[in-house]
Amino acid sequence: MSKYGELVQHLIHSIEHGDYLPGELIPSLRHCEQRFAVSLNTARRAYEELERLGYVEARPRSGYVVAHGAAGANDHLAAPLGAPFINPQLHDTRVLTHAFFNAMRHYQRVLADPALAGLPALRRQIARLAHDEGWEVHANEVLVTCGGMEALSLAISAVTQGQAHPGVAVLLPAFPGLLSRLSEQGVRIWPFDLQPDGMPALDSLEQALAQGRIQAIALMSTYGHPHGLTLGPMARQALLQLAERHDVAIIEDDAYRWLGFHSATPVPLKAADRDGRVLLCATFSKTLTPGYRLGWLLPGRYADICRRLKLAQTLASPLPNQMALAELLAQGKQRPLLDALTSKLAGKVHHLESLLSSHLPWLRHTPAQGGYFVWLRDLPVDTTALAAQAQQHGIQLAPGYWCQPNEAGQRALRINASYYDPAQQAGAFDWLIQALGSAPLRASAGDPAR
């Protein structure tokens, strides 16, 4: 291939892989002349070819920028309904930014303390949050982590260390990140389901527990991902009793407990733990500090091993981020922020649920009590195929198989309601409703309304 062709292909490859986003300047003609050892005329011809192909456009006195709509140039889909995180436009970050600048005045002093388990001021604030909610945590029990994913990873490693064939029972549907992390760490997943009456199906676990094949039970007890439902008192008691009877740990993912649609915040399963078998994994990333990668772990009886693992893996969590969060919590600013966020999320979730129910009355759906997802099940389509088809229309969907890797998951769909905006995405939802309600699709899988 000629140098001219190599230059054109190189720039197309960079644009399609997202190295340059729409509206951004690409390297200048002079830069390409030197980098690729071509003449200025050759570089200019290559850029004119990119412009003809629709990848770039010339800007007077600026140079060439990536064109809007260039193939593969935009990772931000028109309707990111499969995204795992809250729409960033719903977060009010002004208070956090102010707290960050206030906290940085003390950075030199705080830097002198290694604080490997976490900034003491932040650990105290976490303990006080629990006290305000009516359950007991002490600051020296808290291990600050790099987001909720590190907390989950530490918990999994702690309860399965030394096992030749580690196994963890997981309540489905579940957070895809948990399922992926278990798989990556070589842990066998023993699934059990949440029944229509709200009780976990525990009978199927008894034999595996009795044979010592399972070291822990992993679940979300409050506003679970993706359905947004909370386990009732009887279900929680049954899970604790099962774990105590077989002396196994419980890994409790507590990512969404502050995102409830009602005023009272439920206490976690950890609050009823009397012998330290519950490892509570929490995060501030979904609520107060998006992008800060701050989480925390209550490791219970596994404290020593979790701290050793943390030291070996990441040493400590980012200090400036911890300082900013501790400052925000010390000022008591978290409650107004959470109230505003959950009010927005509740409105979007309820409006989306109403829209889907009005157009597709046969849907099998239980209204969410918290979080920001709408979970549809028993759909008349294979949602993996549906997601691939939606991608061609600029719509990102999360097939249920990600959360529930079985046949039921293939007929389920997780929709991120925080991105629900009828004014901007009416076409996306029209397409989705038509795809789910079309006669050929329903006939191929059976009508759940029957």
Q: 3-class secondary structure for 280-319?
A: EEEECCCCCCCCCCCEEEECHHHHHHHHHHHHHHCCCCCH
Give tens-digit pLDDT for 395-446.
999 999 999 999 999 999 999 999 999 888 888 989 999 999 873 433 333 3
In a 3-state reduction of DSSP, which class is residue 173? Answer: coil
Q: Is the pLDDT of residue 448 over 70?
A: no
Q: Which of 179-188, 202-211, 318-327, 340-349 has the lowest mean pLDDT?
A: 202-211
CATH of 3-66, one of 3.40.50.620, 1.10.10.10, 1.10.287.70, 3.30.420.40: 1.10.10.10
Which whole number is the average pLDDT over 39-63? 85
In this prediction, residues 93-106 reach a mean pLDDT of 96
Give the C-alpha separation, 359 to 436, whole Å.
10
Q: Report how far Cα 7 is from the mean position of its chain's Cα atoms.
A: 38
The 10 Å CB-count burial string (b at 16+, else e) for 223-259 is: bbbbbbbbbeeebbeebbebbeebebbbbbbbbbbbb
Of 76-85, 161-170, 274-283, 321-330, least confident by mean pLDDT is 76-85
* Residues 305 and 294: beta-carbon distance below 8 Å: no
Q: Please say if the pLDDT value at position 164 is more than 90.
A: yes
Q: What is the pLDDT of residue 196?
A: 80
Task: Quick: pLDDT tens for 24-42.
Answer: 899 999 899 888 888 988 9
Q: pLDDT band at residue 77, thresholds of 50, 70 and 90?
A: low
Lowest mean pLDDT among 177-181, 262-266, 368-372: 262-266
Res 353 pLDDT > 70:
yes
Q: What is the mean pLDDT of residues 161-176?
A: 96
- Range in 10-19, 95-104, 266-275 the model is least confident about: 10-19
pLDDT at 446: 36
Q: What is the mean pLDDT of residues 48-75?
A: 75
Residue 69 has a pLDDT of 65
The winner for highest mean pLDDT among 48-57, 58-67, 110-119, 158-167 is 158-167
What percent of the chain has pLDDT above 90? 70
Token pair of 187 as six digits: 């842990």
The position carrying tokens 């759940």 is 448
Closest CA to 422 of 412, 432, 413: 432
Burial, 56: exposed, middle or buried (Cβ in 10 Å; 0-12, 13-18, 19+)? buried
Q: Chain-wide mean pLDDT for the chain?
A: 91
- What pLDDT does residue 126 have? 98
Could you tell me the pLDDT band of residue 262, with boundaries at 50, 70 and 90?
Answer: confident
pLDDT band of 71, cuts 50, 70, 90: low
Contact 160, 169 (CB under 8 A): no
Does residue 53 contact residue 385 with C-beta atoms inside 8 Å?
A: no
pLDDT of residue 18: 86
pLDDT at 78: 64
Percent residues over pLDDT 70 in the chain: 95
The pLDDT value recorded for residue 445 is: 36
**Residue 15: both structure tokens together:** 């644009």
Write out the two tokens for 318.
């980012």
pLDDT band at 79; cut points 50, 70, 90: confident
For the record, the structure tokens of 294 come out as 């701050």
Domain ranges in the chain with CATH number 3.40.640.10? 94-333
C-alpha 232/C-alpha 61 separation (Å) is 65
pLDDT score, position 72 = 54
- Residue 180 tokens read as 């992926």
Range with the poorest average pLDDT among 20-29, 68-77, 119-128, 365-374: 68-77
Alpha helices, H only, 18-77: 29-35, 40-53
In the structure encoding, which two tokens stand for residue 281, read together?
């994994």
For residues 13-26, average pLDDT: 88
Check pLDDT > 80 for residue 217: yes
Sequence ranges of the chain with CATH classification 1.10.10.10? 3-66
User: Is the CB of residue 269 less than 8 Å from the CB of residue 91?
Assistant: no
CA 277 distance to own-chain centroid: 25
For Cα atoms 53, 58, 59, give the angle at the middle one, nearest 5 degrees. 155
Q: Is the separation of the CB atoms in 134 and 162 below 8 Å?
A: no
Flag the least confident range among 1-5, 175-179, 416-420.
1-5
Which residue shows structure tokens 């229509």?
196
| Mean pLDDT on 94-118 | 94
Return d(Cα 406, Cα 149) in angstroms, integer.
23
Residue that wins the pLDDT comparison between 329 and 206:
329
* Confidence bin at 265 (pLDDT 50/70/90): very high
CATH of 94-333, one of 3.40.710.10, 3.90.1170.50, 3.40.640.10, 3.40.50.2000: 3.40.640.10
Q: Which two tokens stand for residue 365?
A: 């759906």
Q: Where exactly does CATH 3.90.1150.10 map onto the chain? A: 79-90+336-445
In 91-250, where does DSSP find H-type helix?
94-103, 107-111, 120-133, 147-160, 176-184, 203-210, 233-246
Sequence-ordered list of residues with C-beta below 8 angstroms from that of 369, at least 6 positions apart, any chain: 223, 228, 229, 230, 260, 261, 262
CATH class of the domain whose range is 79-90+336-445: alpha beta
Q: Tell me the residue type at 356.
A: L
The separation between the first and the last C-alpha atoms of the chain, rounded to the nearest angstrom, is 61
